[in-house]
Chain A
Amino acid sequence: MQLFKTITNDTLHCVKLANGLPIMILPRKGFQKKYAVFAVRYGSLDSQFEVAGKGVVKVPDGIAHFLEHKLFEDEAVPVFERFAKFGASVNAYTSYTMTAYLFSTIDFFPEALRELLHFVQNPYLTEENVAKERGIIEQELRMYEDHPGRRIYRNLLNALYHRHPIRLDVGGTVESIRDITVELLWECYNLFYQPANMALAVAGDVDPTEVADIVGLKMEEWKYQRQEVKPILPDEPDQVSQPCVEQRMVISRPRYYLGFKQTEYCTGKALLKQQLAMNMIWRSLAAKSSSVFAGLYDSGLINDSFEASFHGAPQYAFSVAGSETDDPQRLDRELREAITRLTKSRLSPEEADRMKRHILGNYLAAFNSLDYLANGMIAHLFNGTDFLQIPEALDSLTVDEVNLYLSEAFKPEQSAVSILLPEQ
């Protein structure tokens, strides 16, 4: 077991099992709750891939999410019940790049951890339960259609991208899920659910050796066939698909979102730098400390719903910013002007220093949340970055580097606007 000190003086215990599964355990003394997450590097973007000896395989969109639902099926006792017995609550989520199964509990941690490893290793798929799930997921996808926040975001990504699967909801489309079969689910499960393509993280008042032993024993039971899979992303043009998209819905005020896609996808240290720099750049435009935010707020163009964020991973890079507003056209003009002004004036060293302090403070405060720690460690591992390296990466990032990102981030031909308007 390898030990690493965190900035809070906690000790992260890491070990890699013989089958390739990395385990990360962060003991936090005094916490009541114990939290574990078991994740696979397989998300909604992975619908086309190259399999060694088989060539390129294309499967319907939404399989990763469909599998996530299905793994909760069990021949004898429903998975939720198995955890409820220990007073533990179990859950799961699928993102663009990973699927995660997790639970938290006060008591019976070893028992619940064995349950987690057991159900992820043992899918129970039948024609009948897969057919039933199609109906449930279709309802879920239709429900999102009525949600203004999701609608405006989805419309924006469709405007930004021509072919990249990030255009689609993580769950796929109502049409694509109809093509998902028991055979396809098994095929994807067998290809991606492999110890070397997965990771396990635990946080809470636990004994690291005990946790590692439980996982080691439970993993020995797993029958799987080692496979080499390489996901493939379609070629995506630099330009956006559509500069502006509008839709009407039953809402009390219009909403406006501006997006920029970036063509350079990073990994490892470069990705960490990109994430930190873009975070600082957007703070400079959209945080309460920003003169841009103050100007837009004081003129009544935006309210506290105004937000901006950068989303970057080895498979994609884009930014979104927007708010409720009574005048989307004027907000578009003023926000774009502010971006142009910042690109010319650049971030000052004082401003960059202030933002670095803010980001460091948030990083430290996150040590209060076991959920955040466990999920964050895995997401960073899958991105090839290191959660514990964030303070150092932040410290070494210079204002000139940040301004270099700034000069590349906002190209008008790589931007699109998504607007929602109230029904007339």
Chain B
Amino acid sequence: MDFTFRKIAEGVNLYLYETDKFATVTVKVFIQNSLAPKTAAANALIPMVLVQGTKSYPTRMSLAREMESLYGCVLGADIDKIGERQVIEFYFDIVAPSLIPNGRQAFREGMAAFGELIAEPAVEGGVFCHDHFHKEKTNLIKMVDGLINNKQAYAVWQAVKNMCRDEPFGLYKYGERVQIEQLEPVPVYEHYRQMLQSNPIDIFAVGPNLRDVPELISSWPWERAAVKELPPVVVKEDVNEQEIWETQDVQQAVLVMGYRTAQRYLSPDYYGLLVANGILGAFPHSKLFINVREKASLAYYIDSSLEGSKGLLIVTAGIAPQTDRQAVDIVRRQIAEIQDGSITDDELARTKAGLISGIKKMLDDPGAIIDRNLIGIVHNELRSPQTVMDRIASVTKEQVQQGAQGLKLDTIYCLSGQKGET
């Protein structure tokens, strides 16, 4: 499969993938912005305010009623963080026109509402409705405060925040409380209009019969100016290990180890690193799972994940109290093993097969078919599933070793019930 490309306006790219496989048509619109202290909170609040109403459906209730009438059409917006970009994501999902009465008409109506959600929000005195804005500001603050309810997510974020405190990546996806508190409707609205005019916009559509899509999207009120160039990620070369221990009233300790990687999405040897991460901790057969959980019985869960845009590899484990030192040692040893090339043929083969079947499974889900391109749009280089599968298949043991050799431990963070020192 491959997307076909159409340019809609200056810096507005449309990618279409027509297939009869699905019972729905899915469309997503991504507006990129750089992750920066001045705009992070505003970018997080914007999607929450936008879904409260549009020009023709000024309340969330009226919009939701229209969506129900269009056979449970789904329409919404959210914020993503990828590398040092914040991406506002708009999504639209409707039953394939051929399956419902007056389907083509329903599709056109739904797409019109979708366009309004993005480009023609409900306004009051030329800016976001006062009520919508302030209610969602309160909701966003409560959401940010609620991070503490999920210990694992809280711990990972504390690790990353400390690791990248002098880099944009250390900014929270939803902004910080103090930044949110200062937001006002006029500047946030103007900021959003600016983004609509000059930030890169990528649109993806997947489903049967997309023939009306380019025309419908072209008819949205685009007012594009010159496209803004967004900066690449900050790369920290000088890495020193730091350790952070935090105590809270928790039953299970959470250990996070943050590594910097030498390769990123655009590096020629990126897929060696991707496979190295798989061998280390992405599967039930991976070294971390086998050694930390199965053999040493230290962890309830353990895995590693790769942020290929910023270049981070994060190991996360739920461990019994007082076992953090032992767990850290075992993780270090597993990475050293991969660096030394102590990888069995079976490990390499299973990991590559696992990554490839993961990609194939994505192709059964229209949302996933689109989302896998996020990293590509951020780097101006989309890669087809076939390209990625071929590159994974060709990775050698030496390339995996190389990928692992570029790993530098930056931060060890542990959230536990008692003092970490044993």
Contacts and interface: CB of A to CB of B under 8 A. Distances in A.
Nearest to A29: B21
Contact of B285 (A84, A300, A354, A367): A84
The size class of the interface chain A forms with chain B is 35 or more
14 contacts: A28-B21, A32-B363, A105-B357, A146-B251, A252-B145, A253-B142, A357-B69, A357-B71, A358-B68, A361-B71, A364-B24, A364-B100, A368-B23, A368-B24
B391 interface: no
Interface of A: 7-8, 28-33, 80, 84, 87, 104-107, 146, 148, 250-253, 287-291, 293-294, 297-298, 300, 303-304, 354-355, 357-362, 364-370
A29 B364 CA distance: 11
Interface in B228-276: 249, 251
A77 B360 CA distance: 27
B19 A359 contact: no
A358 B361 contact: no
A357 B142 CA distance: 34
Contacts of B354: 87
Interface of B: 19-24, 59-61, 64-65, 67-73, 93-96, 99-100, 131, 135, 138-139, 142, 145-146, 148-149, 249, 251, 284-285, 350, 353-354, 357, 360-361, 363-366
A106 to B, nearest CB: 5
A370 B68 contact: no
B186 to A, nearest CB: 22
A357 B68 contact: yes
Contacts of B366: 368
A180 B22 CA distance: 46
Contacts of A32: 360-361, 363-364
A354 B365 CA distance: 27
A106 B356 CA distance: 10
Given A8-B99, A300-B135, A367 B23 contact: yes
Nearest to B363: A32
A402 B360 CA distance: 43
Contacts of B71: 357-358, 360-361, 364
Contacts of A148: 149
Contacts of A369: 365
B111 to A, nearest CB: 15
Most buried by B among A253, A288, A291, A303: A288
A361 B95 contact: yes
Given A253-B146, A300-B138, A365-B72, 19 more contacts: A29-B21, A87-B353, A87-B357, A106-B357, A106-B360, A148-B149, A252-B145, A288-B60, A294-B61, A304-B139, A354-B65, A357-B68, A357-B71, A361-B71, A361-B73, A364-B95, A365-B93, A365-B95, A369-B365
Nearest to B61: A294
Nearest to B93: A365
A205 B126 CA distance: 53
Nearest to B385: A32
A364 B357 CA distance: 26
A288 B61 contact: yes
B99 A364 contact: yes
A360 B285 CA distance: 41
Contacts of B69: 354, 357
B364 A33 contact: yes
A105 B145 CA distance: 40
Given A303-B142, A365-B24, A368-B23, A294 B361 contact: no
B24 A250 contact: no
A80 B72 CA distance: 38
Contact of B20 (A30, A104, A297, A357): A30
| Nearest 4 interchain pairs by C-beta | A361-B72, A361-B71, A289-B64, A288-B64
A290 B149 CA distance: 29
A124 to B, nearest CB: 19
A32 B362 CA distance: 9
Nearest to B350: A84
B68 A30 contact: no
Contacts of A146: 251
B350 A360 contact: no
A297 B131 CA distance: 12
B72 A359 contact: yes
A287 to B, nearest CB: 7
A366 B74 CA distance: 13
A33 B360 CA distance: 8
